[in-house]
Amino acid sequence: MQYDIRLVKLVSGETVMGQYDSQSEALKDVVLIQTIPTGAGVQLAILPYGFPLEEDVGGEIAEKYIIYTYSKIPEELSKKYLEAKSNIRIASSLDPLGNKGSGGILL
């Protein structure tokens, strides 16, 4: 199954990611992308858009609120989005011992 996953900036200034639905012209199953400064640079956190009141990925944002669409999404970020959306861990994002990789993306 092919997903049209998009990483976008909203008129509010938030960076979000979701699955684009061309019929409703909206981004669905929306997650918020937050940057967390660290001593070695930054890490990214993926949170349900409704967090902390909603813990499941969901929701919908109309296309009219999108001001920028990133042309490329890092593969690791796409995998983490699918993991957050489905609650299924993708094996390639784990090291041989089953620990999270150190790719700089938190869940």
In the predicted structure, residue 98 carries a pLDDT above the cut 60: no
Average pLDDT for 75-103? 68
Average pLDDT over residues 48-74: 92
For residue 65, is pLDDT > 90?
Answer: yes
Residues 6+ apart with CB under 8 A from 98: none
58: domain range?
A: 5-106
The residue type of 77 is L
pLDDT (0 to 100) of residue 90: 59
**What b/e readout covers 79-107, taking b as 16+ CB neighbours within 10 angstroms?**
bbbbbbbeeeeeeebeeeeeeeeeeebee
More confident residue, 62 or 106: 62
Q: Which pLDDT does position 91 carry in this prediction?
A: 58
| Total count of domains within the chain | 1
CATH number at residue 101: 2.30.30.100
Cα-Cα-Cα-Cα torsion 78, 72, 101, 3, nearest 10 degrees, comes to 10
What is the pTM for the complete model shown? 0.77
What average pLDDT does this structure show over 19-41? Answer: 93
Q: What is the mean pLDDT of the chain?
A: 83
